[in-house]
Structure 1
Amino acid sequence: MRKVKFGINISLDGYCDHTAMSPSEELLDYFTGTMDDVDLVFFGRVMYELMFPYWADVAKDQSGTPAENRFAERFTAIDKIVVSKTFENARKDTHIVRENPVAELLKLKQQPGKSITVDSVSMLPEMIAADVIDEFNLVVHPVVVGHGRPLLVAGSLQQKLNLKLVDTIPFKSGHVALHYMRM
């Protein structure tokens, strides 16, 4: 059975607004390394459109820093699923799921392969309720943004989810990577 890992960048005040944060070279190398055991990324439409075509262009043109180029190459090589009822313009390596993303993810989890990374705040409560996520990887950015989407909306979980901290990685830039597993 494949592992499903939820990963997200978050500000000190709990928001997941990627446009308000910027990763350091060291952090980009960390993200690149986390994809070594991943062969599928499961996106919501908003996050997918934030990531593409930007990273695909960086990979193609090699227009970023060395760390950005390495990340872009690795990230764009992984198969993708985007969940949307209306989205039409997916890349050729991206499959669109129109309905019941949790059932699709549960089915994919049973198939052979490497880990699956979920990168969608909007689907998080539903995926936690379905007990589909095995690991949580949060990267806390040293910034207070004061706006954006919170990791979880108040009242969105039916019950408390207990996790076990298995790794903490502090970076020179002030970022901190937190790796949790379900208990």
Structure 2
Amino acid sequence: MTQPLRYGFNTTLDGCVHHEAGLPPDAESMAFWTDELRRSDTLLYGRVTYELMEGVWRRPASGPWPDWINDSEVAFAEVMDPMRKVVASTALDAVDWNAELLRGDLVDGVRRLKEQPGRGISLGGVRLPTALAAAGLIDEYTFVVHPVIAGRGPRLLDGVELTLELIERREFRSGVTVQRYRPAA
């Protein structure tokens, strides 16, 4: 039995996936993402997402979290910081922050990662998930859809054709909806 590969991401109503599109986290969505992290014991990112996450969610060397991180964000960071991270990158020579590099063939490497014991692998980013979705390796998709039309920017799983089955839907007070899917049989 392989551990599940779960892709989760914030998106706008028009499928844009960049944080400059006005996708501010609130306490309810941060609590959701914190619980999502707890479902897995490994994070899988490409270089760009890894560096973005490390820049925000890695515990500072000084110890305390910066004042600009609120309580719900600290809770998220406290879960993410110690987790195992796997980074798919040909550009990086080394990583730290509890991370290791995934080298060689991406699809074979992720298949081997899924065969390792664990509760699950949480996948983030834009380009890496697109490649893994095209290869049929993602077991679950969770889209946190914000009531925003961005009109520009990178799009969710651009170029990939999938038929998905809805397995859960939730609404937050902010108008955000969580939609969880699995690939249709």
TM-score (normalizing by structure 2): 0.89
Match of 2:124 in 1: 119
Q: Count residues in correspondence.
A: 179
Report the secondary structure of 2:58's partner residue: helix
- % of aligned pairs identical? 32
Contact 1:142–1:174 (CA<8 Å) still a contact in 2?
Answer: yes
Worse overlay, 59-68 or 8-17: 59-68
Report the secondary structure of 2:178's partner residue: strand
Determine the C-alpha separation between the residues in 2 that align with 1:132 and 1:86.
23
Report the secondary structure of 2:101's partner residue: strand
Match of 1:139 in 2: 144
Contact 1:58–1:69 (CA<8 Å) still a contact in 2?
Answer: no
Match of 1:178 in 2: 179
Report the secondary structure of 1:173's partner residue: coil
Equivalent residues in 2 for 1:90-169 (5 A)? 90-153=95-158, 156-157=159-160, 160-169=161-170
Determine the C-alpha separation between the residues in 1 that align with 2:47 and 2:20.
15
* 2:55 aligned with 1:53: yes
Offset at 1:98?
3.2
Report the secondary structure of 1:47's partner residue: helix
Cα RMSD, aligned residues only: 1.8
Offset at 1:135?
0.3
1:16-43, Cα deviation, whole Å (9 max, x unpaired)? 1023321111100011011222011110
Give the alignment partner of residue 83 of structure 1, picking from 78, 82, 88.
88
Match of 1:18 in 2: 19
Q: Structure 2 stretches of 5 or more lacking a match?
A: none
Match of 2:65 in 1: 62
Q: Structure 1 stretches of 5 or more lacking a match?
A: none
Alpha-carbon distance change, 58 to 182 in structure 1, aligned in 2, over 3 angstroms: farther
Contact 1:12–1:140 (CA<8 Å) still a contact in 2?
Answer: yes
